[in-house]
Amino acid sequence: MNISGTGIGRGVAVGNILRMAPALEVPSDQLRPSTIEFESASSDVRRVLQEVSADLQKRADQAQHSKESSDAAPILAALSQMATDPALGQSIDTALQGGKSPERAVYEGFNEFEDKLRALGGYMAERANDLHDVGQRAIALLTNSPMPGIPQSDTPFILLADDLSPADTAALDMNKTLGIITIQGSPTSHTAILARSRGIVAIVGAEQAANLANGSRVIVNAATGTITVDPSDEELQQAELHKQHAAHARLLRGKPGSTKDGRHIALLANVAKPEDADAALEYGAEGIGLFRTEFMFMASSTAPSVEDQTKAYAKLLARFPGKKVVIRMLDAGADKPLDFLTPENEPNPALGLRGLRTLRTHRQILDDQLEALARADAQTDADLWVMAPMVADEHEAEYFVTLGKARGLKQVGVMAEVPSIALMAQEVAQVSDFVSIGTNDLTQYTLAADRTLASVGSYQTAWHPAVLRAIKLIADAGNTHGMPVGVCGEAAADPDLALALVGLGVNSLSMTPLALDDVRANLAGHTVQEAQDLANRALSGEFYPTARH
Ligand code: PEP
Ligand code: MG
């Protein structure tokens, strides 16, 4: 039997299912015995919330120092803070004053907060599930129930869960976890983000997997998004071949990206903090193609200082002497709001003030970041390139390039994420040093489909010929004017799409470090002519229906 879902990455794993403990029952709504005073119930709840908070902070600290799970650290730290949020404590106290039992009061208090997050939609709505997990931990402690979370096993397993919270994912024993299947979850859920960054074979949103029994043998094929239950010998052999292919791709690690006939295509890494340089170097990145600087300041309520920023940028640059490092200006807004930049209550934040548009309205923050970049550049020997996100046309490009050059930055460019910039690409190529195409947003805006929404998730593929034609307009303009054009969206991480992008004329590809092996191997197996043939077929829409359905 085959079950389908959304595969994360291209790995294949074979193993036996281990199911995660079922969720706790909803605490009963009956009033607590009158012998339990409000004060004692409230102090019990506070003690338990402190305990949950301390445990989450401990995991955050451990994750911070672990190469495999450092991505989970800021999420866990934020959850630890939420557990002791005074407003949350107040709502729980209100329920306790109404005579509710401690576990019911915790349930209601968290519910209220989860609803508020869900009402905000997008990224914030996804955080509601994380908060729910924190509440469940508190209820388990109050009722002496087994802690919901990852079950223990002495043998390797494929974990099957409804969905995984960041705390669960951080607690995964990587020596035992062969793969993950979740019944809920979208490609942007935490399970997916963390599985991708830790290289775990994963399939999310596999609804029919809900009935799989503990111990069932399965093949999890993330490349096709298929779970094969009770596989035949032949299917097991195929899975083995797939794994060997991955091992072969690893052998090319350390070699520069190149087509079979020798065209160099720089393969770069996407990072969110200076420490990610470790993974980039481990997987043989030739430099950094996208440093998403906003991720460092997600939890800040005030703008970062020039000094703090200089330190962070210099730390990353110092790891890449003589190599290209592309740093993006703060990209705040929509699914990545920053307290100190993003306006509140925009009815449609994806079309609101974000990226360069926000920075223009906060000139001091823009100037401070450019100043920090110039200082970091002066302290190190990397080849620094700086770019602005969400640039619509040549006027905005010129505005930013002029400011960057005035600071003495040598390579100043823009991201192509809005369809208008593709239509103006010839003009943009005359004012910008380079363009980096963000296919995630370019796809979202070209197809008018919110990239965080599962209901329109099937539109999120750069195989759509409209997206590819937009990319071609930019690549053509770049090649006419001698302006480098790279791709740093998720499309670059898909080996087949990466080849098509080379066929369209892009010169560099930047991706999550774990994707580098497969992309490098696919480019090495094909000539430029083959890449162009693939691109031409893709431009006529040949692969879009298959990619979508
Ligand atoms: C993109 O939009 O493709 C991109 C690289 O930027 P982000 O994913 O950070 O929005
Ligand atoms: Mg973007």
CA distance 327 to 433: 14
Ligand 1 pocket, CB under 6 A: 290, 292, 331, 417, 438-441, 488-489
What pLDDT shows up at residue 240? 92
| pLDDT(180) > 50 | yes
Q: Looking at the CA of 188, which ligand is closest?
A: 1
**Exposure of 207 in the CB half-sphere (CA atoms within 13 A):** 0
CB 157 within 8 A of CB 214: no
Contacts 24+ apart (CB under 8 A), 206-211: 206/3, 206/4, 206/5, 206/181, 206/182, 207/5, 207/183, 208/3, 208/4, 209/3, 209/5, 209/160, 209/181, 209/183, 210/183
| pLDDT(106) > 80 | yes
Structure tokens at 343: 């306006």
| pLDDT(76) > 80 | yes
Q: Looking at the CA of 486, which ligand is closest?
A: 1
Task: Name the residue of 417, 418, 445 to mutate for ligand 1: max ligand atoms within 8 A of Cβ.
Answer: 417
| pLDDT(177) > 60 | yes
**CA dist list (Å): 353 to 121, 337, 341, 365, 463:** 17, 10, 9, 15, 28
Structure tokens at 325: 């490092």
Which ligand 1 atom is at minimum distance from the Cα of 290? 5
| pLDDT(135) > 70 | yes
| Identified catalytic residue from 242, 464, 488, 526 | 488
Provide, rounded to the nearest whole percent, the portion of the chain with pLDDT above 90.
68
CA distance 478 to 434: 8
Mean pLDDT across the stretch 275-296? 95
| pLDDT(155) > 60 | yes
- pLDDT bracket for residue 21 (50, 70, 90): confident
Q: Looking at the CA of 270, which ligand is closest?
A: 1
Mean pLDDT across the stretch 190-209? 82
Tell the residue nearest (CA) to atom 3 of ligand 1: 438
Distance 439 CA to ligand 1 centre (A): 7
What pLDDT shows up at residue 367? 98
**Exposure of 387 in the CB half-sphere (CA atoms within 13 A):** 31
CA distance 286 to 281: 8
What pLDDT shows up at residue 154? 78
Q: What is the pLDDT of residues 399-450, one digit of tens each?
A: 999 999 999 999 999 999 999 999 999 999 999 999 999 999 999 999 999 8
Mean pLDDT across the stretch 343-348? 90
Q: Is 464 a catalytic residue?
A: no
Mean pLDDT across the stretch 461-490? 97
Beta strands 157-161 and 12-19: pairing type? parallel
Identify the residue with better confidence: 362 or 242: 362
Q: What is the pLDDT of residues 204-224, one digit of tens each?
A: 889 999 999 999 999 999 888
Alpha helices in 22-72, H assignment, sequence order: 38-64
Residue position matching structure tokens 């072969």: 248
Q: What is the DSSP string of 477-535?
A: HHHHHT--EEE-SGGGGSHHHHHHHHHHT--EEEE-GGGHHHHHHHHHTS-HHHHHHHH
CB 48 within 8 A of CB 142: yes
Q: What is the pLDDT of residues 301-340, one digit of tens each?
A: 999 999 999 999 999 999 999 999 999 999 999 888 999 9
Which ligand 1 atom is at minimum distance from the Cα of 488? 5
Of 523, 497, 524, which is closest to residue 439 (Cα–Cα)? 497
- pLDDT bracket for residue 502 (50, 70, 90): very high
Provide, rounded to the nearest whole percent, the portion of the chain with pLDDT above 70.
96
Q: Is 190 a catalytic residue?
A: yes
| Identified catalytic residue from 190, 242, 464, 526 | 190
CA distance 301 to 457: 31
**Residues whose Cβ atom is located within 5 A of ion ligand 2:** 417, 438, 441
**CA dist list (Å): 47 to 40, 89, 142, 287, 369:** 11, 11, 10, 48, 42
| pLDDT(546) > 60 | no
The SS3 call for residue 229 is strand
- pLDDT bracket for residue 78 (50, 70, 90): confident
Identify the residue with better confidence: 191 or 51: 51
What pLDDT shows up at residue 480? 98
Distance 13 CA to ligand 1 centre (A): 29
What pLDDT shows up at residue 49? 95
Task: Name the residue of 276, 296, 297, 331 to mutate for ligand 1: max ligand atoms within 8 A of Cβ.
Answer: 331
Residue position matching structure tokens 């599985």: 195
| pLDDT(497) > 70 | yes
What pLDDT shows up at residue 549? 44
Instruction: Kindly report the number of other CB atoms within 10 A of residue 476's CB atom.
Output: 16
- pLDDT bracket for residue 20 (50, 70, 90): confident
Q: What is the pLDDT of residues 366-393, one digit of tens each?
A: 999 999 999 999 999 999 999 999 999 9
The SS3 call for residue 506 is coil
Mean pLDDT across the stretch 147-152? 74
Distance 387 CA to ligand 1 centre (A): 12
What pLDDT shows up at residue 8? 83
Distance 403 CA to ligand 2 centre (A): 21
CA distance 14 to 306: 49
CB 295 within 8 A of CB 272: yes
Distance 127 CA to ligand 2 centre (A): 20
Q: Looking at the CA of 487, which ligand is closest?
A: 1
Structure tokens at 155: 């043998």
pTM for this entry: 0.67
Element (H, E) at 139: helix 122-142
